[in-house]
Amino acid sequence: MRIISLNAWGGKIYQPLIEYLATAGADVLCLQEITRSSGVVADWLEYRDGSHILPQRPNLFDDLKAALPEHDGFFAPSTRGELFDGDRAVTSEFGLATFIHRSLAITGQAADFVHGRFSPDGYGTHPRARNAHVVRLFDYATGRTVTIAQLHGLRDMAGKGDTPERIAQAEALVALIGRIHRQGDPLVVCGDFNVLPDSATFGILGRLGLTDFVTSRGFEGTRTSLYPKEGKFADYMLVSADVEVTRFEVVRTPEVSDHCALMLDIG
Protein backbone atom coordinates (compact mmCIF):
# COMPACT_ATOMS: atom_id res chain seq x y z
CA MET A 1 0.00 0.00 0.00
CA ARG A 2 1.33 3.42 -0.95
CA ILE A 3 0.28 6.45 1.09
CA ILE A 4 1.06 10.01 -0.01
CA SER A 5 0.48 13.12 2.08
CA LEU A 6 0.69 16.56 0.46
CA ASN A 7 -0.37 20.14 1.07
CA ALA A 8 -1.66 20.91 -2.43
CA TRP A 9 -1.40 24.72 -2.03
CA GLY A 10 -4.85 25.23 -3.53
CA GLY A 11 -3.61 23.90 -6.87
CA LYS A 12 -1.28 26.84 -7.56
CA ILE A 13 1.15 24.53 -9.44
CA TYR A 14 -1.82 22.89 -11.11
CA GLN A 15 -0.60 20.87 -14.09
CA PRO A 16 2.48 19.35 -12.40
CA LEU A 17 0.32 18.60 -9.34
CA ILE A 18 -2.34 16.74 -11.33
CA GLU A 19 0.22 14.84 -13.37
CA TYR A 20 2.15 13.78 -10.27
CA LEU A 21 -0.86 12.62 -8.28
CA ALA A 22 -2.34 10.78 -11.27
CA THR A 23 0.87 8.80 -11.88
CA ALA A 24 2.36 8.40 -8.38
CA GLY A 25 0.66 5.05 -7.80
CA ALA A 26 -0.82 6.02 -4.44
CA ASP A 27 -3.48 3.82 -2.91
CA VAL A 28 -4.29 6.53 -0.34
CA LEU A 29 -3.84 10.26 -0.91
CA CYS A 30 -4.09 12.57 2.11
CA LEU A 31 -4.33 16.13 0.78
CA GLN A 32 -4.49 19.48 2.55
CA GLU A 33 -5.48 22.94 1.24
CA ILE A 34 -8.13 21.65 -1.13
CA THR A 35 -10.87 23.90 -2.53
CA ARG A 36 -14.41 23.12 -3.62
CA SER A 37 -16.90 25.63 -4.99
CA SER A 38 -20.51 25.40 -6.08
CA GLY A 39 -21.61 26.89 -9.38
CA VAL A 40 -18.15 28.27 -10.23
CA VAL A 41 -16.95 27.65 -13.79
CA ALA A 42 -13.75 29.75 -13.71
CA ASP A 43 -10.51 27.76 -13.75
CA TRP A 44 -8.70 30.27 -11.52
CA LEU A 45 -9.64 32.67 -8.74
CA GLU A 46 -7.57 34.56 -6.16
CA TYR A 47 -7.26 34.04 -2.43
CA ARG A 48 -6.60 37.36 -0.65
CA ASP A 49 -5.52 37.76 2.95
CA GLY A 50 -4.01 41.22 3.27
CA SER A 51 -0.80 41.22 1.25
CA HIS A 52 -0.95 37.42 0.93
CA ILE A 53 -2.42 36.70 -2.52
CA LEU A 54 -2.50 33.27 -4.16
CA PRO A 55 -4.05 31.94 -7.37
CA GLN A 56 -6.42 29.09 -6.53
CA ARG A 57 -8.25 26.39 -8.45
CA PRO A 58 -11.78 26.91 -7.11
CA ASN A 59 -12.80 23.36 -8.05
CA LEU A 60 -9.61 21.52 -7.13
CA PHE A 61 -11.51 18.66 -5.49
CA ASP A 62 -13.44 18.02 -8.72
CA ASP A 63 -10.22 18.35 -10.74
CA LEU A 64 -8.67 15.64 -8.59
CA LYS A 65 -11.71 13.37 -8.88
CA ALA A 66 -11.43 13.55 -12.66
CA ALA A 67 -7.71 12.74 -12.52
CA LEU A 68 -8.21 9.81 -10.12
CA PRO A 69 -11.11 7.76 -11.56
CA GLU A 70 -10.09 4.59 -9.69
CA HIS A 71 -10.26 6.31 -6.29
CA ASP A 72 -13.14 7.26 -4.04
CA GLY A 73 -12.82 10.87 -2.86
CA PHE A 74 -13.89 12.37 0.47
CA PHE A 75 -13.90 16.12 1.10
CA ALA A 76 -13.99 17.60 4.60
CA PRO A 77 -14.32 21.42 4.61
CA SER A 78 -13.06 23.40 7.56
CA THR A 79 -14.25 26.83 6.39
CA ARG A 80 -16.12 28.61 3.62
CA GLY A 81 -14.75 31.97 2.61
CA GLU A 82 -14.26 34.21 -0.38
CA LEU A 83 -12.13 33.87 -3.48
CA PHE A 84 -12.03 36.67 -6.01
CA ASP A 85 -12.60 36.98 -9.74
CA GLY A 86 -11.39 40.55 -10.17
CA ASP A 87 -13.69 42.61 -7.94
CA ARG A 88 -16.29 39.84 -7.70
CA ALA A 89 -16.26 37.68 -4.58
CA VAL A 90 -17.12 33.98 -4.87
CA THR A 91 -17.72 31.69 -1.91
CA SER A 92 -15.51 28.60 -1.77
CA GLU A 93 -14.96 25.80 0.72
CA PHE A 94 -11.47 24.99 2.00
CA GLY A 95 -10.34 21.81 3.72
CA LEU A 96 -9.01 18.27 3.46
CA ALA A 97 -9.46 15.62 0.81
CA THR A 98 -8.74 11.91 1.09
CA PHE A 99 -8.67 9.68 -1.99
CA ILE A 100 -8.76 5.90 -1.51
CA HIS A 101 -8.25 3.34 -4.25
CA ARG A 102 -11.31 1.18 -4.83
CA SER A 103 -9.27 -1.98 -4.25
CA LEU A 104 -9.35 -1.09 -0.53
CA ALA A 105 -12.43 -1.43 1.68
CA ILE A 106 -13.32 1.54 3.88
CA THR A 107 -14.51 -0.13 7.09
CA GLY A 108 -14.65 2.93 9.31
CA GLN A 109 -14.09 6.67 9.21
CA ALA A 110 -14.55 9.88 11.17
CA ALA A 111 -13.96 13.55 10.46
CA ASP A 112 -14.12 16.25 13.09
CA PHE A 113 -12.55 19.49 14.21
CA VAL A 114 -9.32 19.50 16.20
CA HIS A 115 -9.34 23.29 16.55
CA GLY A 116 -12.35 25.57 16.49
CA ARG A 117 -15.51 24.76 14.55
CA PHE A 118 -16.80 24.99 11.00
CA SER A 119 -16.97 28.57 9.75
CA PRO A 120 -19.61 28.98 7.01
CA ASP A 121 -19.40 32.78 6.69
CA GLY A 122 -15.72 33.53 6.14
CA TYR A 123 -12.31 32.09 6.87
CA GLY A 124 -12.15 33.96 10.18
CA THR A 125 -9.18 35.31 12.09
CA HIS A 126 -6.01 33.31 12.70
CA PRO A 127 -5.64 30.69 14.04
CA ARG A 128 -8.49 29.44 11.90
CA ALA A 129 -10.56 26.29 12.37
CA ARG A 130 -8.86 23.01 11.48
CA ASN A 131 -10.17 19.49 11.05
CA ALA A 132 -8.83 15.96 10.66
CA HIS A 133 -9.98 12.79 8.88
CA VAL A 134 -9.41 9.21 10.02
CA VAL A 135 -10.11 6.09 7.95
CA ARG A 136 -9.83 2.38 8.74
CA LEU A 137 -9.09 0.32 5.63
CA PHE A 138 -9.04 -3.38 4.87
CA ASP A 139 -6.35 -4.35 2.39
CA TYR A 140 -7.52 -7.40 0.44
CA ALA A 141 -4.01 -8.03 -0.87
CA THR A 142 -2.52 -8.54 2.59
CA GLY A 143 -5.63 -9.42 4.59
CA ARG A 144 -4.77 -6.68 7.07
CA THR A 145 -6.49 -3.61 8.44
CA VAL A 146 -4.70 -0.26 8.70
CA THR A 147 -5.86 3.06 10.15
CA ILE A 148 -4.72 6.30 8.50
CA ALA A 149 -5.28 9.80 9.90
CA GLN A 150 -4.49 13.16 8.37
CA LEU A 151 -4.78 16.76 9.49
CA HIS A 152 -3.85 20.29 8.51
CA GLY A 153 -2.56 21.86 11.71
CA LEU A 154 -3.60 25.34 12.74
CA ARG A 155 -1.62 28.30 11.46
CA ASP A 156 -0.50 30.84 14.07
CA MET A 157 0.78 34.15 12.71
CA ALA A 158 3.36 34.20 15.53
CA GLY A 159 5.06 31.09 14.15
CA LYS A 160 5.11 27.31 14.53
CA GLY A 161 6.07 27.11 18.20
CA ASP A 162 3.94 25.30 20.75
CA THR A 163 0.87 27.10 22.06
CA PRO A 164 -2.02 25.96 24.27
CA GLU A 165 -4.13 25.72 21.10
CA ARG A 166 -1.62 23.40 19.44
CA ILE A 167 -1.43 21.19 22.54
CA ALA A 168 -5.23 20.99 22.60
CA GLN A 169 -5.21 20.23 18.87
CA ALA A 170 -2.90 17.24 19.40
CA GLU A 171 -5.08 15.92 22.22
CA ALA A 172 -8.18 16.29 20.04
CA LEU A 173 -6.45 14.39 17.25
CA VAL A 174 -5.59 11.52 19.59
CA ALA A 175 -9.23 11.39 20.72
CA LEU A 176 -10.49 11.37 17.12
CA ILE A 177 -8.11 8.57 16.15
CA GLY A 178 -9.36 6.62 19.15
CA ARG A 179 -12.89 6.58 17.69
CA ILE A 180 -11.74 4.55 14.66
CA HIS A 181 -8.42 2.84 15.42
CA ARG A 182 -8.54 -0.69 16.83
CA GLN A 183 -5.90 -1.97 19.22
CA GLY A 184 -3.29 -3.99 17.35
CA ASP A 185 -3.96 -2.48 13.93
CA PRO A 186 -1.15 -0.59 12.18
CA LEU A 187 -1.56 3.18 12.41
CA VAL A 188 -0.28 6.00 10.15
CA VAL A 189 -0.75 9.70 10.94
CA CYS A 190 0.29 12.36 8.45
CA GLY A 191 -0.27 15.88 7.19
CA ASP A 192 0.86 19.47 7.33
CA PHE A 193 1.12 19.81 11.11
CA ASN A 194 2.45 23.40 11.07
CA VAL A 195 4.69 22.66 14.07
CA LEU A 196 8.44 22.45 14.70
CA PRO A 197 10.30 19.13 15.04
CA ASP A 198 10.62 19.56 18.82
CA SER A 199 6.89 20.18 19.31
CA ALA A 200 5.09 18.57 22.23
CA THR A 201 2.67 17.30 19.56
CA PHE A 202 4.99 14.35 18.94
CA GLY A 203 5.07 13.34 22.59
CA ILE A 204 1.28 13.38 22.67
CA LEU A 205 1.04 11.27 19.52
CA GLY A 206 3.78 9.06 20.93
CA ARG A 207 1.25 7.76 23.44
CA LEU A 208 -0.25 5.90 20.48
CA GLY A 209 3.12 4.25 19.79
CA LEU A 210 3.87 6.55 16.84
CA THR A 211 7.30 7.60 15.55
CA ASP A 212 7.83 10.40 13.03
CA PHE A 213 9.82 9.36 9.97
CA VAL A 214 10.75 12.88 8.81
CA THR A 215 12.80 13.80 11.86
CA SER A 216 13.90 10.33 12.98
CA ARG A 217 15.42 9.59 9.56
CA GLY A 218 17.41 12.80 9.33
CA PHE A 219 15.52 14.74 6.67
CA GLU A 220 16.33 18.45 6.69
CA GLY A 221 12.89 19.79 5.93
CA THR A 222 9.72 19.28 3.94
CA ARG A 223 9.45 22.53 1.99
CA THR A 224 10.36 22.98 -1.68
CA SER A 225 12.37 25.75 -3.32
CA LEU A 226 9.05 27.59 -3.82
CA TYR A 227 8.99 28.35 -0.07
CA PRO A 228 11.30 31.33 0.53
CA LYS A 229 11.04 31.63 4.33
CA GLU A 230 13.17 30.18 7.10
CA GLY A 231 11.98 27.06 8.90
CA LYS A 232 11.64 24.22 6.42
CA PHE A 233 9.64 21.78 8.56
CA ALA A 234 5.86 21.56 8.38
CA ASP A 235 4.85 18.09 7.15
CA TYR A 236 5.22 14.83 9.04
CA MET A 237 4.47 11.12 8.66
CA LEU A 238 4.19 9.04 11.84
CA VAL A 239 3.84 5.26 11.98
CA SER A 240 3.30 2.69 14.69
CA ALA A 241 5.91 -0.01 15.28
CA ASP A 242 3.73 -2.69 13.69
CA VAL A 243 3.71 -0.94 10.29
CA GLU A 244 5.89 -2.86 7.84
CA VAL A 245 7.63 0.04 6.09
CA THR A 246 9.36 -0.79 2.80
CA ARG A 247 10.04 2.79 1.66
CA PHE A 248 9.73 6.35 2.93
CA GLU A 249 10.60 9.43 0.90
CA VAL A 250 10.36 13.19 1.19
CA VAL A 251 9.69 13.83 -2.50
CA ARG A 252 11.88 16.67 -3.81
CA THR A 253 10.99 16.39 -7.47
CA PRO A 254 8.72 17.15 -9.11
CA GLU A 255 7.88 20.33 -7.24
CA VAL A 256 4.08 20.51 -7.22
CA SER A 257 3.58 22.81 -4.21
CA ASP A 258 5.60 24.81 -1.72
CA HIS A 259 5.42 21.60 0.35
CA CYS A 260 7.10 18.31 -0.49
CA ALA A 261 4.95 15.24 -0.81
CA LEU A 262 5.61 12.53 1.78
CA MET A 263 5.47 9.01 0.34
CA LEU A 264 5.20 5.86 2.43
CA ASP A 265 5.10 2.28 1.13
CA ILE A 266 3.97 -0.39 3.57
CA GLY A 267 3.75 -4.15 3.23
Tell me the pairing of strands 28-36 and 45-49: unpaired
Burial class (CB in 10 A: 0-12, 13-18, 19+), 18: buried
Is this prediction's pTM over 0.95? yes
Q: Virtual CA dihedral for 164, 170, 173, 179, nearest 10 degrees?
A: -100
Alpha carbons 149 and 173: distance in angstroms, whole number: 9
Q: What pLDDT, on the 0 to 100 scale, is given for residue 111?
A: 98
Taking phi over 0 as left and psi of -120 to 50 as alpha, with beta for the rest, 116 belongs to left
Residue 143 has pLDDT above 90, yes or no: yes
Q: pLDDT for 127-141, tens place per residue?
A: 999 999 999 999 999
240: pLDDT confidence band, cut at 50, 70 and 90? very high
Rounded Cα gap, residues 241 and 27, in angstroms: 21
pLDDT of 50: 83
Residue 45 has pLDDT above 90, yes or no: yes
The sheet with strand 52-56 has its strands ordered as: 52-56, 45-49, 71-85, 88-101, 28-36, 2-7, 261-266, 245-251
Cis amide prior to 254 (ω within 30 degrees) = yes
What pLDDT is recorded for position 187? 98
The whole-number average pLDDT for the span 249-266 is: 98
Q: What is the model's pLDDT at position 158?
A: 92
Q: What is each CA distance from 242 to 49, 177, 217, 262, in whole angstroms? A: 43, 17, 17, 19
User: What average pLDDT score do residues 52-68 get?
Assistant: 96
| Number of independent structural domains in the chain | 1
pLDDT score of 52 more than 90: no
- Is residue 222 a contact partner of residue 235, using CB atoms and an 8 Å limit? yes
Q: CATH number for the domain including 97?
A: 3.60.10.10
User: In this predicted structure, what is the pLDDT of residue 51?
Assistant: 81
Least confident among 44-58, 66-80, 101-115: 44-58
pLDDT tens digits for 2-13?
999 999 999 999
Alpha helices, H only, the chain: 14-23, 60-67, 164-180, 201-206, 213-216
pLDDT exceeds 90 at position 117: yes
pLDDT above 90 covers what percent of the chain?
Answer: 95
Q: What is the mean pLDDT of the chain?
A: 96
What pLDDT shows up at residue 231? 87
> Which residue range(s) make up the domain with 217?
2-266
